[in-house]
Structure 1
């Protein structure tokens, strides 16, 4: 076994939760060192963004059906909407003296390890350069001013780049070794959130998969040690191209243009104390992305169009009302039609967000534990998102599974076992009632050998899970229910249920959808002060 493969497998096994023991984590939370959820670059010029999302007429249902509006111009008001509806605050919550922010992009433990950057040529209302988005203030911090004509040339006047990074300590502080997984989930949620918001503006999104981590770090200024002297480091994740997918930017030209850029600002320290977790650094090194060939593998197109949801709301409304449920009532059910419609939105569509951002073949499939779907037999189901995986799944899982085709003809959904799985769902999800009280719970499974062959794909598999999760969040809101991501689950208990042997198929993320029970003790406040 190659060293990188060994490091990857070692992390994957050690970071599993098990019935007899949880993955290594802090023995207790040191509240004095809880990381600041907002990174600020002091000394960087700031561009305040308008709160313009309510001017956007795009309906959520049109996006999920793959119908994009006419493209908006790339200017300051449109970019303000992009960030407000993907990464901006959605509300403030308070209880007693405690107060915390919610965002349009979800995060494990509401800790938000993800940071985002804008790279753009000179646009109406915005000079060219590199900017950091500060969600707390809905503002752009101007990190680098670029005067080199090669910068504008690299963009070919056809779009902008959004860069994503992770501050691992924000999650490690609470979750220890398993935190790196959660950072990757959150990156996937951000990819989807940006793709949806861009589509609402009529823009296409593409993940720039060929880019190396070093190039991403250089473009975002993450490798500038002098700007992060006492601050926690940011790991480069991904670059998202928003604009004409046929005219992507020249990253080498951009890096060359940055040689003469003027950089501004110094990152704030988020935490007064830190605990070292060498395994986190090890898995990040093992999955380091080098430059690879530009590839685009179109996924098979499914023709199972989603039906109109129960709540036909604007995209802006759906994006800002998204919440993670804390508890479900154990009574609510959804209709069979609503369930099938949700699953249809989990299938790839070339121009449909968020799947338009994905350039590699679908690799994650969905094992569903259905409890309360009117007209559908409770039990274990499998949504095979790539038909090429069907034979492998049938041969790899329990031989006694039925594999009975269910639902609309064009929906690749199979009943494996008719059975009441509520108790099993609760056990798998770390004994949490929310898994049994839901309408349905699910696990996202993938073939791990994809990552063993190309270790950097390990990160992308978690990202794909996060993208699936973001779809479920929005679909649940549109159906009049609520969803929540489940990072705490017993990995191998799920594998035992499915009949997985060795590392053939592994579960990377769990999710639940149901009727939420709101905590009436909490007070909800607007995300931003109304501008006069």
Structure 2
């Protein structure tokens, strides 16, 4: 089976890493900006500094009154999710950081707006160009377009350019593209919530629908440019609005399309395994899952820092090193995990269309009031018996923390060396307050292949929440894509392939690189 074969071949192992490029061909490093030559541009205002919504309110589900759907607030949506957050300089080199995290800062994720006529934005399809904070109008829609939107709403489509990641990471790049899509889903959901809008992934929509709506299937518009893989379609707006996707798909064929995609690299390395797994995981239209109502839960405790959303998302960084000294309190640790439980109307989980299929195995190192050791955190308490049966049978499974938090101690032990070894010998996994691996129900992907990328996307959403929670706690996080898959399974005593470790993460006290200069993301006046 293609999914199983790709997953096994793309695993890192202590004796050999997954197939990669061998060296970085700097002359062919992909252009970080996808743009469409000839597409008219709609400048978006930079208005995040005026948004008063606080992060703690959003994470507790206390959202502001819905903002108008217009050019200014669409601009805010992208400014707080997919836009630049800063420029960095060192030794004559200059590179951009963005609000949505990305493996290696390579940013394979592209965003598209599909909108009815809004104040300042004509009806049609737009590509978001983060470098300039503008919308590139890809399609001009006809008079029937607006009728497909049944209430005040817009659609946001996300896609991936696999080559951007494969240039550096080779075969494993497909995994990382899905992580980054998950980061972006959570970023868009949280930005929408800060504006008082609901956001949800339209899970019944197939890949072909997304490609048609965003113009990704238009051969003439891409030519020799790198193609984009459709990922997800999100509906944003008032809580109860709907959209007739069938009508929009049909009408997109009658739009006036414009703009030609730029080529990102002059030459490429073909990763046939990525092409094969992408084809195997192609998602048809499906019947959306009916997700059981989640139990009422108390809100998570307030983080240490009371920050507005705009400040938090723009200061988010990936740590490159931890000091190996900083700790955190057990209460702060519990609050951070608490935000990973789905609650009705609370982003980003209110945007996710399926029940949780990813749980956490945690290496606790420096959490005051909590034993160092190995823990399991269930994001769906009903998975306890199944996951317990899948792991080593002599684990303790001692319940700890607040009563509603499904957190279990497996063994009290100093596992810093084990965490570092599993994470490709990276010290950040041992020098942190805690590190973790995300256990996804891989068996779902073997039965329904389109669920394979969805599992990684769910992991990416968890990662984005942890990134923001770490910043709000006065710490810093970083996602870890390099880890020894089966070494993690062996440590847990995980047998079979129903569960697999799909992403790792760590949180701690960062060591700042004072050699780097930081510059604003956009010119203060003008562009």
In 2: Cα distance, 1:407 partner to 1:388 partner:
18
- Is residue 385 from structure 1 mapped to residue 379 from structure 2 by the alignment? yes
> By how many angstroms is 1:230 displaced?
1.6
Runs of 4+ with >3 A deviation: none
Counterpart in 2 of 1:317?
A: 311
- Is residue 121 from structure 1 mapped to residue 119 from structure 2 by the alignment? no
- Is residue 93 from structure 1 mapped to residue 88 from structure 2 by the alignment? yes
* 3-state secondary structure, aligned to 2:502: strand
- Is residue 59 from structure 1 mapped to residue 47 from structure 2 by the alignment? no
* 3-state secondary structure, aligned to 1:165: strand
- Decide whether the 8 Å contact of 2:297 with 2:343 is kept in 1: no
- Is residue 405 from structure 1 mapped to residue 399 from structure 2 by the alignment? yes
> By how many angstroms is 1:505 displaced?
1.3
> By how many angstroms is 1:245 displaced?
4.4
In 1: Cα distance, 2:503 partner to 2:154 partner:
31
Counterpart in 2 of 1:135?
A: 130
Counterpart in 1 of 2:255?
A: 261
- Decide whether the 8 Å contact of 1:66 with 1:352 is kept in 2: yes
Counterpart in 1 of 2:164?
A: 170
Which of 209, 212, 228 matches 1:234?
Answer: 228
- Is residue 490 from structure 1 mapped to residue 487 from structure 2 by the alignment? no
Counterpart in 1 of 2:13?
A: 18
- Is residue 40 from structure 1 mapped to residue 35 from structure 2 by the alignment? yes
Counterpart in 1 of 2:342?
A: 348
1:60-209 to structure 2, matched below 5 A, reads 60-149=55-144, 151-209=145-203
In 1: Cα distance, 2:429 partner to 2:132 partner:
36
- Decide whether the 8 Å contact of 1:34 with 1:271 is kept in 2: yes
Instruction: Normalising by structure 1, report the TM-score.
Output: 0.98
- Decide whether the 8 Å contact of 2:435 with 2:507 is kept in 1: yes
- Is residue 31 from structure 1 mapped to residue 26 from structure 2 by the alignment? yes
* 3-state secondary structure, aligned to 1:260: coil
Counterpart in 2 of 1:3?
A: none
- Decide whether the 8 Å contact of 1:298 with 1:360 is kept in 2: no
> By how many angstroms is 1:304 displaced?
4.0
- Decide whether the 8 Å contact of 2:178 with 2:456 is kept in 1: yes
> By how many angstroms is 1:246 displaced?
3.1
Which of 215, 219, 233 matches 2:213?
Answer: 219
- Decide whether the 8 Å contact of 1:305 with 1:341 is kept in 2: no
- Is residue 439 from structure 1 mapped to residue 433 from structure 2 by the alignment? yes
> By how many angstroms is 1:394 displaced?
1.0
Structure 1 residues not aligned, in runs of 5+: 1-5
Deviations 1:456-506, CA, capped at 9 Å, x for gaps: 011110000000000000000000000000000000010011111121210
In 2: Cα distance, 1:451 partner to 1:219 partner:
26
- Decide whether the 8 Å contact of 2:66 with 2:238 is kept in 1: no
> By how many angstroms is 1:55 displaced?
1.1
> By how many angstroms is 1:287 displaced?
0.3
- Decide whether the 8 Å contact of 1:302 with 1:347 is kept in 2: no
- Decide whether the 8 Å contact of 1:425 with 1:435 is kept in 2: yes
Q: How many matched pairs?
A: 526
Structure 2 residues not aligned, in runs of 5+: none
* 3-state secondary structure, aligned to 1:431: coil
- Decide whether the 8 Å contact of 1:51 with 1:84 is kept in 2: yes
1:439-458 to structure 2, matched below 5 A, reads 439-458=433-452
Deviates further, 446-455 or 129-138? 446-455
* 3-state secondary structure, aligned to 1:327: coil
* 3-state secondary structure, aligned to 2:370: coil
Deviations 1:303-335, CA, capped at 9 Å, x for gaps: 142111111010000010000000000000011
* 3-state secondary structure, aligned to 2:56: helix
In 1: Cα distance, 2:344 partner to 2:295 partner:
7
- Is residue 367 from structure 1 mapped to residue 361 from structure 2 by the alignment? yes
- Decide whether the 8 Å contact of 1:299 with 1:361 is kept in 2: no
Deviates further, 288-297 or 172-181? 288-297
> By how many angstroms is 1:211 displaced?
0.5
Deviations 1:347-372, CA, capped at 9 Å, x for gaps: 11120010010111110001110000
Instruction: Normalising by structure 2, report the TM-score.
Output: 0.99
Counterpart in 1 of 2:285?
A: 291
RMSD (Å), alpha carbons: 0.9
- Decide whether the 8 Å contact of 1:301 with 1:348 is kept in 2: no
* 3-state secondary structure, aligned to 2:243: coil
* 3-state secondary structure, aligned to 2:303: coil
Counterpart in 1 of 2:264?
A: 270
